[in-house]
Amino acid sequence: MKLYLYGIIDSSNQTEESIYGLEGSGVYNIPYCDIGAVVSEISQPIQEVTAGSVLEHETVVEKLMANFTVLPVRFQTIIDGRDNLLSIMQSYYRDFKDNLERVSNKFEFGIKVIWSADKMKENIIKALNKEQQKKLEPASSSGKKFMKEKFEKYKIDKEFEAKADKLIKVMDIFFSKFAAEKKLTKLKTENLLLDAVYLVEKPQESNFREVFEHIKSARSDFKYLFSGPWPAYNFVVLSKKSSLLREPEQTNLFDKVTQSQTLVGVDII
Partner 1 sequence: MITSGIVETDTAEEFIEEIEKSKDALPEKIDANPKTVEKGLAKLVLTLIELIRKLLEKQAMRRVEAGSLSDEQIENVGETLMKLENKMEELKGIFGLEDEELNLNLGPLGDLM
Binding site for partner 1 (CB under 8 A): 58, 62, 65-66, 107, 112, 114, 135-137, 141-147, 150-151, 154-155, 188-189, 191-192, 195, 223-230, 256, 258, 260-261, 263, 268-269
**Burial grade of 141 (CB within 10 A; 0-12, 13-18, 19 or more):** exposed
Comparison of 36 and 72: residue with beta carbon closer to partner 1? 72
Question: Min. distance of Cβ 81 from partner 1 in angstroms?
Answer: 29
Read off the amino acid at residue 127. Answer: A
**Could you tell me which of 217, 164, 220 has the C-alpha nearest to residue 193?**
164
Question: Min. distance of Cβ 217 from partner 1 in angstroms?
Answer: 13
Comparison of 175 and 230: residue with beta carbon closer to partner 1? 230
| SS3 call for 245 | coil
* Distance of alpha carbon 185 from alpha carbon 243, whole angstroms: 32
Comparison of 84 and 207: residue with beta carbon closer to partner 1? 207
Question: Min. distance of Cβ 250 from partner 1 in angstroms?
Answer: 18
Phi, psi for residue 44 in degrees, rounded to 5: -150, 160
Question: Min. distance of Cβ 111 from partner 1 in angstroms?
Answer: 11
Question: Min. distance of Cβ 86 from partner 1 in angstroms?
Answer: 28
Comparison of 82 and 255: residue with beta carbon closer to partner 1? 255
What is the H or E stretch that residue 197 is in? strand 192-201
Question: Min. distance of Cβ 144 from partner 1 in angstroms?
Answer: 6
69 near 105, Cβ under 8 Å? yes
In angstroms, the first-to-last Cα distance of the chain is: 31
- CA-to-CA dists, residue 113 to 35, 184, 224, 244, angstroms: 37, 11, 5, 40
Comparison of 192 and 215: residue with beta carbon closer to partner 1? 192
| SS3 call for 185 | strand
Comparison of 135 and 177: residue with beta carbon closer to partner 1? 135
- Residue 26 is given by DSSP the state B
